[in-house]
Amino acid sequence: MKTAITELLNIEYPIVQGAMAWVADADLASAVSNAGGLGVIGTGHDPVEVVEKKVTLMKEKASKPFAVNVMLLNPQVDAVVDYLIEAGIKIITTGAGNPAKYMKRFKEAGIAVIPVVASVALAKRMERIGADAIIVEGMEAGGHIGKSTTMTLLPQVVDEINIPIIAAGGFGDGRGMAAALMLGADAIQVGTRFVVSHESNAHPRFKQAIIEAKDIDTVVTGQITGHPVRVLRNPLTTQYLQAEKEETSKETPDILRLDEIAKGALRRAVVEGDWQSGSFMAGQIAGLVSKEQSCHDIIQDYINECKEIIKINQKFVD
Ligand code: TUI
């Protein structure tokens, strides 16, 4: 399945794995890369030593191209960027901000740069300053999100830029993949479904929670902090959203109180499977994920379903 993205990145299938903090380690990312997709190491709020460990392991385990994601809200982002350039990483994705200040150095190092954008304006700016492709992410996605839906944002970005586009947020099977291609994307990014893979080290209770989730089981926390995050509804989100409501009604909201509730919550979800006080980041498509599979089988399912659905719909043009 050749697209502008498979050509650019030298991968077999136009499927990119989401750079999920705490989840996207070398085990998951190497499984995706070795199965023909693009595995991506997530670095979240990692200190540079942790990034180094993940990258070293990834280089051992991955026999095909892979990327590393830079989460721009990471307090150690400068050190992480320095390290990734020095380590000879060939593909870098960025998230949760504007990577402009690093672009010149990335390009000089010959790195393919793929920023995540949540607006047309940022997509155009990224193309102008030399991005090789972009990931267009809608608010159906899990984790930190923008305001627009994938369905509306994607075609508007497609109309404005000429670099390859990876669509993210809401793609849980091959039907979704076909729809993304119809809207002009060259690949999709998949997060939630890869959490529920054999190679994912997410806690079994996290995987089970996604499998049990229904269509309406995600909520968005943190609107007031300026960093909205989509997660599975659980006791933590009930507490957080109540606190957020109380603080919103105050003249001077106490953001620190909210930060305190959220602190360490992603780790508690992924590593400890703590349903009471963990932050189980997942996309709105969680309701579609029904079983745990290998990364290889997940990718094959997407590709086979996508091809099948395009074939079936040939009838509309016959
Ligand atoms: O980055 C993500 N998803 C994430 S990062 C993350 S770690 C975290 N944990 C708690 C709070 C905040 C982060 C968990 N999930 N996705 C990529 C993404 N980037 N989604 C949206 C954006 C984005 C939003 C605004 C990119 C750029 C932007 O504007 C930048 C600007 O300055 O214009």
Q: What is the pLDDT along the chain (318 residues), one digit of tens a residue?
A: 899 999 999 999 999 999 999 999 999 999 999 999 999 999 999 999 999 999 999 999 999 999 999 999 999 999 999 999 999 999 999 999 999 999 999 999 999 999 999 999 999 999 999 999 999 999 999 999 999 999 999 999 999 999 999 999 999 999 999 999 999 999 999 999 999 999 999 999 999 999 999 999 999 999 999 999 999 999 999 999 999 999 999 999 999 999 999 999 999 999 999 999 999 999 999 999 999 999 999 999 999 999 999 999 999 998
Nearest atom, ligand 1, residue 142 CA: 15
pLDDT at 107: 97
> Which protein residues touch ligand 1 with a CB less than 6 Å away?
21, 44, 71, 73, 95-98, 116-118, 122, 137, 143-146, 227, 229, 281
Residue nearest to atom 8 of ligand 1 (CA): 144
Residue nearest to atom 15 of ligand 1 (CA): 143
The CA distance from 209 to 105, in Å, is: 41
pLDDT at 318: 85
- Domain 4-201+290-316 adopts which CATH fold? TIM Barrel (3.20.20)
Q: Ligand 1, residues 122, 144, 157, 280: which to mutate, most atoms within 8 A of Cβ?
A: 144
**Residue ranges of the domains in the chain?**
4-201+290-316, 214-281
Residue nearest to atom 9 of ligand 1 (CA): 144
How far, in Å, from the CA of 97 to the mean position of ligand 1? Answer: 6
- Are 84 and 92 in contact by the 8 Å Cβ rule? The answer is yes
The CA distance from 149 to 200, in Å, is: 27
- Among 18, 279, 284, smallest CA distance to 140 is for 284
DSSP string, 83-109: HHHHTT-SEEEEESS--HHHHHHHHHT
Secondary-structure percent of the chain, ordered helix, strand, coil, rounded to 5:
45, 15, 40
How far, in Å, from the CA of 173 to the mean position of ligand 1? Answer: 24
How far, in Å, from the CA of 249 to the mean position of ligand 1? Answer: 25
The CA distance from 159 to 175, in Å, is: 22
